[in-house]
Structure 1
Amino acid sequence: MKKLIIFIIIFISFESFSQTIKEQLQQIITIDDAKKLAAENPNLEAELLNIHPEIETDNFVTKLSESKTGEIFSDLDFTYKILFETNINAFRVSYIFLDASKISLTEIEKLRSKILNEYKNGISFSNLAKKYTMDSSKDGDLGWFTEGMMVPDFEKAVKNHKQNDIFKVDITNEKWYYIVLKTFTDKPIREYTVLKIKSNT
């Protein structure tokens, strides 16, 4: 009986705590509101997330895609509020990375010419990426990414090309040199901005 009473007290406390959290979240409308909440309540470990249901697949994203702006929901550890939804573009490319901190620019240009030649002669881009890329990518496929995720020069080059274009991108200040194949047409997707906070503090 004593254990049952303790359990009921804990349950009621948790319920009232959850209610307090939800009441606070109902007042959060803008990014500034969310930032203010985070600054005033560091114990909440507040975090703003940008979620893209069309290009991300996990249980949380599935639940999110069934929810509406302003909705609040919780799992075991966190409580979430969908602040707003916008439309943005997503892009997909494959790449071969060449590192100018390891080889000279002359070597990079020779290598790029060789790679482009081999591609024109029918060798698949994924095989070329496996052979030549100087990072840990297995096949060069970058997966879907959205506006603002890549360095501006890389994103700009991708936006300026169409599906099946193959082109060079130079990020000279970082010594990053690329051959890029645009593998898909740009597609409009939804982006949810979500405030995530700890359910138990």
Structure 2
Amino acid sequence: MKASLAWLFLLFSTPIFAQLTVREQFEKIGTKEEAQKFIDANPALKPTLLYLTLGKDTTLIDKRLLKQNKGDIFSVGYVTYKVLDGTETTNYRANYIFLDGFSLSPAEVDSLKKVILQKHSEGVSFEDLSDQYTMDGNKTRGDTDWFFGEMMMPKEFQDAVSKHKKGDVFFVDVPERQWHYIVKKTYDDQVKKEITVLRANGR
């Protein structure tokens, strides 16, 4: 009799023990479509998708989530989160003076660089120097506005700006195109990050 009761207990309790935890279920979810299926199938867990933006969403849990990477899963209390997707870009902004190596000799380029730096060190604004010397006809006083990616500026330009801090003045050369830039970084980098998070009660 006792053996039969024990067998019945194991029989009926097996599905309970075999049921996946929320974390285990989250590990199997990799897309928003799969997340939506989970949401539809588990209303008791109050699941939802969160869309968070760095700088806009500022609660403590939002800030913690925004530090996570795609695929990360963690629990706070009895709530579990998974970062399903995320995009991050860094925008840069600077002022520049363009010197055309097809129109100027290397010696003339070097001479102009020295003249421009000397005038800037004497107090002439970089914007005024751009208006006076740039050779690309820009009407923005050399301001790049916020940019990222090679569609906006040459890779050499972006790489150099990313390595300098606000206020630095430096040279960028693109030898194969004979492009020469004198650049002043005018703003700190602007990081944009957006993530999609699956949230549900349970662990």
Other-structure match for 1:178: 181
Other-structure match for 2:144: 142
Shift of 1:162: 0.3
Q: Deviations over 1:130-187 (max 9, x none)?
A: 0000011120001100244432211111111000000000001001001000000001
Which of residues 160, 177, 190 in structure 1 aligns to 2:163? 160
Structure 1 segments (4+ residues) deviating >3 Å: none
SS in 2 for 1:135: coil
**Which one-letter code corresponds to 2:90 in the other structure?**
N
Are residues 191 and 171 of structure 1, via their aligned partners in 2, closer, same or farther at CA, if it must alter by over 3 Å? Answer: farther
User: Distance in 1 between the 2:190 and 2:173 partners?
Assistant: 25
Other-structure match for 1:116: 117
User: Distance in 2 between the 1:88 and 1:148 partners?
Assistant: 13
User: Distance in 2 between the 1:148 and 1:137 partners?
Assistant: 18
Identity, % of aligned positions: 39
SS in 2 for 1:142: coil
SS in 2 for 1:189: strand
Q: Deviations over 1:41-66 (max 9, x none)?
A: xxxxxxxxxxxx99xxxxxxxxxxxx
TM-score, normalised with respect to structure 1: 0.52
Q: Over aligned residues, Cα RMSD in angstroms?
A: 2.4
Q: Residue 88 of structure 1 contacts residue 191 of structure 1 at CA under 8 Å; is this kept in 2?
A: no
Q: Residue 95 of structure 1 contacts residue 178 of structure 1 at CA under 8 Å; is this kept in 2?
A: yes
Are residues 85 and 176 of structure 1, via their aligned partners in 2, closer, same or farther at CA, if it must alter by over 3 Å? Answer: same
User: Distance in 1 between the 2:165 and 2:100 partners?
Assistant: 25
Other-structure match for 1:107: 108
SS in 2 for 1:144: coil
TM-score, normalised with respect to structure 2: 0.51
User: Distance in 2 between the 1:112 and 1:92 partners?
Assistant: 21
Other-structure match for 1:71: none
User: Distance in 2 between the 1:191 and 1:173 partners?
Assistant: 37
User: Distance in 2 between the 1:89 and 1:167 partners?
Assistant: 20
**Which one-letter code corresponds to 1:87 in the other structure?**
E
- Which ranges of structure 2 fall in alignment gaps of 5 or more residues? 1-32, 34-52, 55-84, 196-203
User: Distance in 1 between the 2:138 and 2:150 partners?
Assistant: 21
Give the aligned length.
113
- Which ranges of structure 1 fall in alignment gaps of 5 or more residues? 1-28, 30-52, 55-83, 193-201
**Which one-letter code corresponds to 1:164 in the other structure?**
G
User: Distance in 1 between the 2:118 and 2:154 partners?
Assistant: 27
